[in-house]
Amino acid sequence: MKILSLIASLLLTGVVFSFSAQSGEASGSSSLSIAITIQSLLEHIFPQLDIPLETLHPVLRKGAHVMLYFLLGLSWTVTLCLLRARIPYIFLLGLMIALIDEGIQSIVPERGPSVVDVFLFDFPGYTLGSGLMLMVRSVHRRKNISS
């Protein structure tokens, strides 16, 4: 179980890093096409709703940061708990991944690192995922102790 969890966490981290390795044009184009699709879907479901693409696109991009890092937080917390790592190391790893991720963007054409992304979107998303998994683990442990 430990090995499978580690492999899943490493693969997910690789996916996040691969997104950062995309050029600015490729990254923007991908997210823009998703934003256009979501905008069309929302307009079809809610005809009165008028969300400008200039608003939806950045919200979608930042939401993707939070969601990916939330998943990373879940995954790495499971892995590191199975490996019996101390809790501070779980959070330190999340911060390191976010910083490395932004470092990758600093060497990719048309991209640049953003401390704002690290501290407002990436690390908070990771922290939410880790916190949720640690709460589930705590509840599970209490149930097992009281049984």
Task: Give the integer Cα–Cα distance in Å for 70 and 92.
Answer: 15
Task: Give the number of C-alpha atoms closer than 13 A to the C-alpha of residue 141, restricted to the C-beta side.
Answer: 7
pLDDT tens figures, 56-97: 999 999 999 999 999 999 999 999 999 999 999 999 999 999
CB-CB neighbours of 60 under 10 Å: 16
Please state the domain count of the chain.
Answer: 1
| pTM of the full structure | 0.91
Q: What are phi and psi of 11, to 5 degrees?
A: -65, -45
pLDDT tens figures, 105-146: 999 989 999 999 999 999 999 999 999 999 999 998 888 877
C-alpha pair distances (Å), 75 with each of 96, 110, 138: 15, 30, 16
- Residues of the domain holding 45: 2-146
- Amino acid letter at 133? M
- Amino acid letter at 24? G
C-alpha pair distances (Å), 50 with each of 44, 47, 139: 11, 8, 43
